Amino acid sequence: MGSTVNQKPAREEEIGAPESRWKSLFKKLIRNKSSLIGSCILIFFLLVAAFAPFLMTHDPNSTDLLNDFETPSSENWFGTDHNGRDIYSRIVYGTHLTLYVGTVSVAIGAAVGIVLGLFAGYYGRFVDTVIMRVADVLLAFPGILLALAIVSALGASLNNVIIALSIYNIPVFARIVRGSVLEVKSVEYIEAIRALGAKDGKIMFQHILPNVSSPVIVQASLQIATSILSAAGLSFLGVGVQPPTPEWGAMLNSGRSYMWDSPHLTLFPGIALVLVVLGFNLLGDGLRDALDPKSKK
């Protein structure tokens, strides 16, 4: 009877632990001003992307050369560009492209990098050496230059931009996961699971991976901001998303020749880009503080 009394609280604590951790994380994020502001910014742009067809006032690719370079007005809220296209509608339409490129490239890079980092940290020796040396070679190049080289080789398109950014993101996550795995795999309960005959795959993905997820989550939010900037940079250089697709970097490139006479051509896409990147960075800072067990209240 005494053993039953002792086991019940343990089971209740084990079942309630994940929920309490998520509740604790949510409360920390709500109390953190950075994450709260960043979340509000991102929710706003997510809603814009989701309801873009209802928010647009004009066809984003419809040209009207008789009304080019119009300043902001009640008819064209952000004005028109050199082809008479409504800038507001193009920014609204381009929101989902910007978020899509950033999230998908990071998701692919994180998925591959996590697996490589797990193998490198868990097995060590030859596996670790090969994976980390390849990662070092990729990280030796600045991100935008590496992506530029890959896109130049594959060709300018949306999918190739995602591929290029994904390749750059892989070593970033591989190094983070590998370092965390080196700390976790020597913990006593991992040794106990291994002694019970658990297979390596189960140990890595069911027991080690959940314990190294915190730095991955933080890095993912920050890396999305980096990927969005890199994608816009590639489009600005003319090797990313091609006109007339209303991507923010491409809009900055098309408006830079007229920025002194018609600054609204670059002002509004630039503001949108800055706000999205700021939102992800603020959210990443808040997640880092919330997931850090050593952070102060």
Q: Is residue 274 part of a domain?
A: yes
Q: Which residues of 169-188 are buried (b: 16+ CB within 10 A; e: fewer)?
A: bbbbbbbbbbebbbebbeee
- On whether residue 7 sits in a domain, the answer given is no
What CATH code is carried by the domain that includes residue 114? Answer: 1.10.3720.10
Q: What domain count does the chain have? A: 1
- Domain span holding position 284: 96-243+251-291
Cβ atoms of 46 and 99 within 8 Å: the answer is yes
pLDDT in tens, 46-87: 999 999 989 988 888 888 888 888 888 888 889 888 888 999
Q: How far is it, in rounded angstroms, from Cα 211 to Cα 114?
A: 13
Mean pLDDT of 75-100: 90
The single residue listed with the structure tokens 């949510």 is: 26
Write down the pLDDT at residue 44. Answer: 94
Dump pLDDT digits (tens) for 182-194: 888 777 777 777 7
Q: Would residue 3 count as lying in a domain?
A: no
Q: Examine residue 276 and state whether it is found in any structural domain, yes or no.
A: yes
Residue 36 domain-assigned?
Answer: no
Distance, CA of 292 to CA of 290 (rounded, Å): 6
205: Cα separation from own chain's centroid: 22
Taking CA 171 as the corner, what is the angle to CA 168 and CA 172, rounded to the nearest 5 degrees?
85
Q: How far is it, in rounded angstroms, from Cα 218 to Cα 205? A: 19
- Judged against a pLDDT cut of 70, whether residue 151 lies above it is answered with yes
Asked whether residue 104 is domain-assigned, the answer is yes
pTM to 2 decimal places: 0.84
Sequence letter at residue 288: R
In a domain, 204, yes or no: yes
Q: Tell me the C-alpha to C-alpha distance, in Å, between residue 41 and each of 72, 85, 107.
A: 23, 26, 21
**Residue 153 domain-assigned (yes or no):** yes
